């Protein structure tokens, strides 16, 4: 059994594809560096991530796949589901080896699985665009904590950079301990040293801007005044607004 070890990055996975074709040997398993090797491993190879090699593989894929199919690959990677890297490796290899497009060959289990996973991640990105709520901090930066099922935040960042280009903001993924900061000019990835106080979904009152609490109360009042109690349908509401987002919605607190 041949095992490839890599650094658990998307660029590292693409480099593994490049190295496999260069060596003309293809792994039976792909594991992250430091993971326990299978009992029956006969040979191992450590992939050294190289951006130029990863770029060459991606360029080759763009020539053989539609933009939608390329997006499915990145969406599947962002799913973080166990075995998704090996799934992508098999999919990419089939794409490269096939004389024709495989992206609609749903009789192939790998093609179908990539399509299904990518669709779920895309839905999560759509939910983020709809349900992220900003809170104004004392330093005039608008802050929004989230905890999506999948690592879908990168899919939504361009939307917020375009929609809220006139204000500074931070969107932070509490589950994965990273986020993005927009400074009116560009978006930067950031991490916070202490984010425990954000787990409730709300900024501490001493961190809020003076008028933030007032605006929240006004929004709750507007939401309540527009609600027709006789037409409340909790089941339908949960279907269109997953309950896991409620603690981040001002109108639900």
Domain boundary among 130, 155, 176: 130
Same domain, 198 and 93: no
Rg of the Cα atoms in the chain: 22
Using one digit for the tens of pLDDT, what is the confidence trace for 66-85? 999 999 999 999 999 999 99
pLDDT at 96: 96
pLDDT at 198: 64
Q: In the chain, what are the helix, strand and coil shares in percent, each to the nearest 5?
A: 50, 15, 35
Residue 207, judged by CB atoms within 10 A of its CB (0-12, 13-18, 19+), counts as middle
Using one digit for the tens of pLDDT, what is the confidence trace for 175-185? 999 999 999 99
Using one digit for the tens of pLDDT, what is the confidence trace for 184-238? 999 999 998 876 666 666 666 666 666 677 666 766 676 677 777 778 777 877 7
* Number of structural domains found in the chain: 3
Same domain, 83 and 159: no
Same domain, 71 and 175: no
Same domain, 142 and 125: no
What is the C-alpha separation between 115 and 84, in angstroms, rounded?
Answer: 12
Report the interhelical angle of 51-64 vs 10-23 (nearest 10°): 80
Which pTM value belongs to this model? Answer: 0.85
pLDDT at 48: 97
Same domain, 59 and 71: no
Range of the domain at 15: 1-64
Same domain, 94 and 182: no
Same domain, 174 and 218: yes
pLDDT at 215: 63
Same domain, 59 and 74: no
Same domain, 206 and 222: yes
Same domain, 93 and 120: yes
Same domain, 141 and 166: yes
What is the C-alpha separation between 51 and 63, in angstroms, rounded?
Answer: 18
What is the C-alpha separation between 55 and 171, in angstroms, rounded?
Answer: 29
pLDDT at 238: 77
Same domain, 78 and 146: no
Domain boundary among 79, 102, 130: 130
Q: Are 122 and 75 in contact (CB under 8 A)?
A: yes
């Amino acid at each position: 059994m041949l095992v490839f070890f890599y650094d658990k990055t998307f660029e590292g996975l693409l480099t593994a594809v490049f190295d496999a074709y260069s060596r003309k040997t293809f792994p039976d398993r792909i594991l992250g560096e430091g993971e326990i090797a299978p009992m029956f491993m006969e040979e191992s190879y450590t992939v050294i991530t190289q951006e130029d090699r990863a770029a060459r593989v991606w360029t080759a894929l763009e020539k053989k796949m539609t933009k939608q199919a390329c997006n499915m690959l990145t969406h599947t990677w962002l799913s973080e589901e166990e075995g998704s890297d090996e799934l992508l490796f098999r999919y990419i290899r089939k794409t490269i080896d096939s004389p024709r497009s495989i992206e609609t060959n749903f009789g192939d289990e790998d093609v179908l699985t990539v399509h299904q996973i990518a669709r779920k991640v895309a839905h999560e990105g759509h939910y983020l665009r709809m349900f992220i709520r900003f809170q104004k901090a004392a330093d005039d930066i608008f802050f929004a904590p989230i905890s999506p099922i999948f690592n879908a935040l990168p899919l939504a960042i361009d939307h917020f950079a375009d929609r809220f280009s006139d204000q500074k903001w931070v969107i932070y993924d509490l589950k994965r301990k990273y986020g993005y900061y927009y400074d009116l000019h560009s978006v930067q990835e950031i991490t916070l040293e202490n984010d425990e106080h954000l787990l409730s979904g709300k900024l501490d009152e001493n961190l809020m801007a003076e008028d933030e609490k007032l605006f929240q109360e006004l929004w709750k009042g507007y939401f309540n005044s527009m609600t027709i109690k006789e037409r409340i349908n909790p089941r339908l509401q949960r279907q269109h607004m997953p309950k896991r987002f409620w603690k981040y919605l001002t109108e639900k607190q």
